[in-house]
Amino acid sequence: MTNKKAKFSVKILENLVAITAAEIGKKNLPIVLNKSKLPKEWAEDDNLAKMNEEEAAESYAGLQQAIRAYYGRGARGILQRIGRKLWGKLLETASFKEKVQAKLLRGLPETIRRKNVLELLTRLLDTEADEMSVHTLDLNLLLADNTSPTTHNQHDDEPICHITHGLIREAIYWATSKDAVIEESSCRATGATNCEFKIIVGE
């Protein structure tokens, strides 16, 4: 689904590309991009730093599309691992205020930690309240992404937000030391109005 207003943090993109290069190999990243006829310059730090937020969103979506095209069925696992590693980088580069809040969060009761850490994730991704939100569904949670830069100009028969999936999984684990079942129940790439992730913790 086309998202003409998609924006993404250049700083986060730079970290993401570094993690991706480490995951698939620094020499392989330009090859993966070239295979999908995307700019090999997206793998270079100097070029990334010159991007604006709209260009960063295009690169963010394109990079994931290239990995899906190159690795096929194996792309889901690769992208989820990238997302999980990105969580640690988001914490590392967070503001002092967010780091303090993250530390305090881990002292809360477990049931409260889950929602709070997802709300922290939305802030670390530099999103506005109307772009990404967290909701309670009985014992479970729902994260709604209304802009989803992953889906910028992307069309697919299945949900494609595997990096976000990995981020959610790692954030929950970091906060609770427990895994959660996560399901992307709707995706803008398939024509839905937003991307929704159900976090099942009540079973």
The model carries a pTM of 0.93
Q: In the 3-class helix/strand/coil scheme, how is 159-176 assigned residue by residue?
A: CCCHHHHHHHHHHHHHHH
**Amino acid present at 91:** L
Q: Sketch the domain layout of the chain as residue ranges.
A: 10-200
Q: Which residue has the tokens 């939100």?
A: 133
> What pLDDT tens digit does each residue of the chain (203 aa) get?
444 478 899 999 999 999 999 999 999 999 999 999 999 999 988 899 999 999 999 999 999 999 999 999 999 999 999 999 999 999 999 999 999 999 999 999 988 999 999 999 999 998 887 899 999 988 899 999 998 999 999 999 999 999 999 999 999 999 999 999 999 999 999 999 999 999 997 55
Note the helical H segments in 37-188: 45-49, 53-71, 75-92, 96-105, 110-124, 162-176
Domain 10-200 CATH class label: alpha beta
What is 29-40 written as a DSSP string? HHHHHHHTT--G
